[in-house]
Amino acid sequence: MEDNLLPEDVGLPQNDAEQKDKVSVPVADDVIAFDDIVSGRFDDEDANVALPKRVLLPQAEQPKLHKVLAQAGMGSRLEMEQLILEGRISVNNEPAHIGQRIQLGDQVKVNGKPIKYRIAPPPTRVIAYHKPAGEVVTHDDPQNRPTVFRKLPKLYQGKWQSVGRLDLNTEGLLLFSSSGDLANNLMHPRFGLEREYAVRVLGRLDKEEKQKLLDGVQLDDGLAQFGSIEDGGGEGANCWYKVTISEGRNREVRRMLESVGHAVSRLIRIRYGAMVLPKGLKRGAWMELGESDIQALMRAVNAASPSQRPASRPDRGANTGGGEGNRNRNRGNRGGNQNGGKSGGRGMSGRSGGQAQPRSNAPDNRQPDPLKTSQGYIGADSLNQQRQQRRASSGSGSGGNGARRASRRP
């Protein structure tokens, strides 16, 4: 078995040319398991790991202005350069200059008239963030509490869109995308992506309470139900359970358990769809997903990549998810193949039975089974590429270390 991923390697840039066609071989030790949380290893390992410095992968250069204008039929490249020298071209109401690069959304004018041009949108980027308790998922908090966005890397084009939310005291996996379309699709009720949580409650759930939570409990904002419940043990009055749910209304998991008389003392999201919280990803740290992992996310919600469709404006009104994800009122789409079957696979934390009953769903709305893909679980490709890069660097002595330092630069 390969060496376990070292925490300092999480987020290292990858050699895409070398790793592009390689198939991921997920390792169970790469991701957080429910047993890690119940046993306390989750907290022990996090406390002993130093927070590494990370940078986003280098982004492709944007096209030059004179080339874009030539492709738009305004004239030859030399003619466009001459117009730039004469001051007859502006970008965002500022005089253009020779060699200037433009990006999607820039306003270009020739002789004061706006020009329509086509330019490929930037590639979609996705990061996995390990949210600690005490942070809020908002750009601007009126109470000036710590926000998750202060920990994220800067995007030079666009901004990070959160895939749902986790409330103040909930911790664990939180996804962000530079594509508003992808983020909204991952939250959309019709896809019913399953969220998995480790939850610690006061007192043990009896058989009747479990069945009630699986059948559905009535909350102030409608019926809510778990997809599965699995016992995890615990000490004294504190009992751990692994639960799955296919929506995320505000504080929904907490309110459901409170409705049957059990207060929640800790709540950790360990999976969102096929993406599992990576082991070694310290609280407050992030990891960028590789291209194949992003494509797997897109396939899960039937979304085309930017190169396959024209750019579209993000639907700002679709991100309504508070609490533990996006609100899902469509009960007919709760099921589907959400990493079905018994928990296992290589690093995949799937539906683990409990007292849950399988639900049927229309084939078009089913989430692809990650165990039937080369990824095994989303994020495995990124983790394995980083591990292989670390092993190659360690075998080349001091030269390898220098290469690693160089690869961290943006």
By annotation, the residues acting in catalysis are: 167
- Tally of CB atoms within 10 A around 58: 10
Dihedral over alpha carbons 320, 323, 327, 331 (to 10 degrees): 180
Residue with the two structure tokens 């590789």 = 290
Cα–Cα distance measured from residue 112 to residue 229, given in angstroms and rounded to the nearest whole number: 64
Q: Distances in Å between the alpha carbon of 109 and those of 8, 83, 114, 116, 409?
A: 47, 11, 4, 9, 35
Q: Contact, 192 vs 367, CB < 8 A?
A: yes
Written as six digits, the tokens of 304 are 């085309």
Number of helices (H) and strands (E), helices first, in the chain? 11, 15
- Tally of CB atoms within 10 A around 168: 14
SS3 121: coil
